[in-house]
Amino acid sequence: MTYTAAVLLGVAGALVVDLVVLRTRLVTRLVFWAAYPIVLVFQLLSNGILTGRKIVIYDPAAILGLRIAYAPVEDLLFGFAVVLLTLSIWIFLGRRGVQRGPAAGDGSALLRRLHARRSARSAGGGVGERP
Amino acid sequence: MRHLAYVFVLAGCLAAALWLEPVLKVNVLRRRRRLLLSVAPVLVVFVLWDLGAIAAGHWRFDKAQTTGIMLPGGLPLEEALFFVVVPVCAILGFEATRAVLRRPAGDE
């Protein structure tokens, strides 16, 4: 099996875990697609160094040969599978009651100020704050 | 220093994400048990994949740019740590995003 075939199976596996096995359905949520591009930027950066500096070397026969920021395009999918599987398990555990809290942002003065300003603005505009 | 190249990449990833814990109080490191239980299966699955890929010759590692500490199956220590660092950074980034956007993620 080539890396190309393996990574397609890997992405399919991660999607099955998210949608069917753990039913976290992260790929249907806005918050996942808002976070993923941020993670992706850092993936491209770190992966670019690993492959550009030839710390990791790929067999040309195992990949398509299409490269993005030095890295084989397959690595993008590999990273997606790692991130989706991780977050799916993380959310699944929270849903099952494993350390659901303290929630993200609890106790952050910075976020409190940000959200206070945002709700003040939306109140002025006549739009209610999102739940 | 050259043999620390991969270690520096891992350190860079952590540096890019760890500040979210104290600054945005994402409370990811604080929820240590949940973090550990999330990372462990990912580490196992992807280390197995990595070992298979190394055995199949899909990729190899430059000995001059890794510490030389090898795990069974020809897996450099850094490559195994990659599957700890990346999940931790991904969770930190995800929790930071949801804290800012205040959108449901399915575990509320």
Provide the 10 A C-beta neighbour count for residue A115: 16
Window A:63-92, CB contacts with B under 8 Å: 63, 79, 82-83, 85-87, 89-92
Does A128 score more than 60 pLDDT? Answer: no
Mean pLDDT for all residues in chain A: 92
Per-residue model confidence as pLDDT tens digits over B54-75: 999 999 999 999 999 999 999 9
Instruction: Say what the pLDDT of residue B65 is.
Output: 96
Instruction: Say what the pLDDT of residue A124 is.
Output: 66
Per-residue model confidence as pLDDT tens digits over A8-67: 999 999 999 999 999 999 999 999 999 999 999 999 999 999 999 999 999 999 999 999
Pair A27, A15: CB distance under 8 Å: yes
Choose the closest CB to A57 out of B12, B62, B97. B62
Instruction: Say what the pLDDT of residue A76 is.
Output: 96
Query: Does any domain span residue B107?
Result: no
The number of residues making up chain A comes to: 131
CB A107 to CB B17 under 8 A?
no
Choose the closest CB to B99 out of A6, A53, A104. A104
Provide the 10 A C-beta neighbour count for residue B24: 22
Instruction: Say what the pLDDT of residue A125 is.
Output: 54
Query: Does any domain span residue B106?
Result: no
Does A1 score more than 70 pLDDT? Answer: yes
For residues B79 and B58, what is the distance between their CA atoms, to the nearest angstrom?
A: 14
Query: Does any domain span residue B37?
Result: yes
Domain ranges of chain A: 3-100
Query: Does any domain span residue B45?
Result: yes
Choose the closest CB to B42 out of A6, A45, A82. A82
Interchain CB contact of B96 with A (< 8 Å): yes
> Count of domains in chain B?
1
CA distance A127 to chain B (A): 16
B75: alpha, beta or left? (left if phi > 0; alpha if psi -120 to 50): beta
For residues B102 and A30, what is the distance between their CA atoms, to the nearest angstrom?
A: 11
**ipTM metric:** 0.96
Query: Does any domain span residue B108?
Result: no
CA distance A37 to chain B (A): 10
DSSP-assigned states of every residue in chain B = -GGGHHHHHHHHHHHHHHTHHHHS---SSSSHHHHHHHHHHHHHHHHHHHHHHHHHTSEEE-GGGS---EETTTEEHHHHHHHHHHHHHHHHHHHHHHHHH----S--
**Domain housing B47:** 2-101
Q: Which of A30, A33, A19 is nearest to A85 (CA)?
A: A19
Interchain CB contact of B50 with A (< 8 Å): no
Does A126 score more than 80 pLDDT? Answer: no
* Chain B residues inside the 8 Å CB shell of A34: 97, 101, 103
Query: Does any domain span residue B17?
Result: yes
Query: Does any domain span residue B13?
Result: yes
Question: Hey, what are A6's tokens?
Answer: 């393996």
Query: Does any domain span residue B32?
Result: yes
